[in-house]
Amino acid sequence: MEPIIQIDNLFIEENTVFTELIEVIKKNFAENKLMVPKRHHHDFPNPKMNSDSTLLLMPAWNPSETAGVKIITVSPQNSQFDIPSIQGTYIYLDATKGTIKAIIEAKSLTAKRTAAASALASSYLSRKDASSLLMIGTGALSINLIKAHASVRHLKEVFVWGRSYSKAQAICKQLQNEDFNITPIKTIEEKISDVDIISSATLSKTPLILGKYLRKGQHIDLVGAYKKDMREADDETIFKSNIYVDTYDGIHENGDITIPLKTGILKRENIKADLFELTSLQKQGRTKTEELTVFKSVGHALEDLAAANYFYEKYVNRDLVKSS
């Protein structure tokens, strides 16, 4: 039996080209050939942290070719240990033999594929001339989201807000050599009305994006708030926006969509499209400059397997690339 390859976070960090990864994920959504059962979502007590943790199991298959399952835990209080809230492993399989081909560290894989999916959505939903971004949140996703969005829109100005101003400053320092100006800010309100794209990746239970500050033509990318009692955007934001999602299967797992559906602020039939429909051109994204668009991402196992295929191929071909 062939040895099991170990693909670590360092390899993923050093070998991600967002334009490539976005295209890989786009192709997989458009072709819709992967078999993806509903993911397992289990909240379990974490009394030491006085907060529940979450276990997610996300399998997917490309019959007789590749398969995989991601095992993820989300522990919101991990910041006190100075580690990401998301931890996990991706088991990459040969779908014909059932053998394990690779063990892939899931933190970076998840961050890269999530950012790529948001940027993919932005390519349909944000204005083509969008040039400014507000990043809300300073976790592991923030740098990836900024870079991914910058790969599909020519960003000139980026602003970063987090509950810790020093963390916002640190992110700006890490990205100071990019092709855009990047600035930490102390309040969301000082820039939220000015930017073209707002990307939010937090575990907030109270809305951070308030509709009263939004203007026509903006695009809002909601990536965090993965549980039913979490929200990043308020009712006014949802009510006044055209809503898009990564998949319809995930709309009942998060508060940003579930709560407005329950209260009648949003109707299921008024969700405009998901990524399957956008990438296959069954439905359109933005059609008017003045539209206010919202994309809600909860993650999908298709994205994980597509990303695993991408990084596996990069890994096994790395010697060929070095010698060419």
Q: Can you give the CATH number for the domain in which 104 is found? A: 3.30.1780.10
| CB contact burial 193-217 (16+ within 10 A = b; e otherwise) | eebbbbbbbbbbeebbbebebbeeb
Same domain, 288 and 313: no
Could you give the number of structural domains in the chain?
A: 2
Q: Which residues constitute the domain of residue 27?
A: 5-109+302-318
* Residue 164, domain CATH: 3.40.50.720
**Which of 184, 234, 185, 187 is CA-nearest to residue 214?**
234
Same domain, 123 and 11: no
Same domain, 92 and 154: no
Tell me whether residue 130 is in a domain: yes
Would you say 44 and 53 are in contact if contact means Cβ atoms under 8 Å apart? Answer: yes
Both tokens of residue 140? 């592991």
Tell me whether residue 220 is in a domain: yes
Tell me whether residue 324 is in a domain: no
Same domain, 139 and 99: no
Same domain, 102 and 47: yes
Residue-level pLDDT at 323: 46
Backbone phi, psi, residue 274, to 5°: -115, 180
- β-strand pairing of 100-105 with 181-184: unpaired
Same domain, 289 and 146: yes
Tell me whether residue 323 is in a domain: no
Please give the Cα distance from 201 to 224 (Å, whole number): 4
List average pLDDT for each run of 10 residues in the chain, which is 324 residues long: 89 96 97 89 81 89 92 84 85 94 93 96 97 95 97 97 95 95 96 97 93 96 87 94 91 84 89 96 94 93 96 85 50
Residue-level pLDDT at 151: 97
Residue-level pLDDT at 154: 97
Same domain, 88 and 146: no
Same domain, 39 and 135: no
Same domain, 146 and 96: no
Same domain, 121 and 262: yes
Same domain, 187 and 198: yes
Tell me whether residue 72 is in a domain: yes
Residue-level pLDDT at 41: 83
Q: Please name the helix (run of DSSP H) or strand (run of DSSP E) that holds residue 88, with its range, or none.
A: strand 86-94
Tell me whether residue 170 is in a domain: yes
Q: Where are the alpha helices (DSSP H) in 105-254?
A: 106-125, 140-152, 165-174, 235-239
Residue-level pLDDT at 51: 78
Same domain, 212 and 170: yes
Residue-level pLDDT at 47: 75
Residue-level pLDDT at 324: 47
Please give the Cα distance from 264 to 261 (Å, whole number): 5
